[in-house]
Amino acid sequence: MCKGCALCKVKPKDAASNLSYMFAHAVYGVVATAIIAKVGDPMLFDAKSVNDYLEPTELTTEQKSHLAQKHQEQWQASRAEDNGLIRRH
């Protein structure tokens, strides 16, 4: 913001100031990336398809969650049937 102002004469005093600014920005970038990777939505990191000619080899996060939900429903249905069979005997 200060660079656009002709009256502003803010400059680092020495090379160490520039290095400390670079180091601070690098640390900020690493910390921000780590937080996004841990807390962020997994769909942010889905594998993109390389081309449109071949089917993708990996499922997207949405497909994985849908498949897991489907398996859970099937398991619950078979469990309910098993409980019904045991009670009938």
Tens-digit pLDDT profile for residues 34-67: 988 888 777 666 666 666 676 767 788 888 888 8
**Across residues 58-82, what is the average pLDDT?**
84
Q: H helices of the chain, where?
A: 15-39, 61-88
Whole-number pLDDT of residue 41: 74
> How far is residue 62's CA from residue 23's CA, in Å, rounded to a whole number?
38
Spatial separation of the C-alpha atoms in residues 49 and 13, rounded to whole Å: 49
pTM exceeds 0.95, yes or no: no
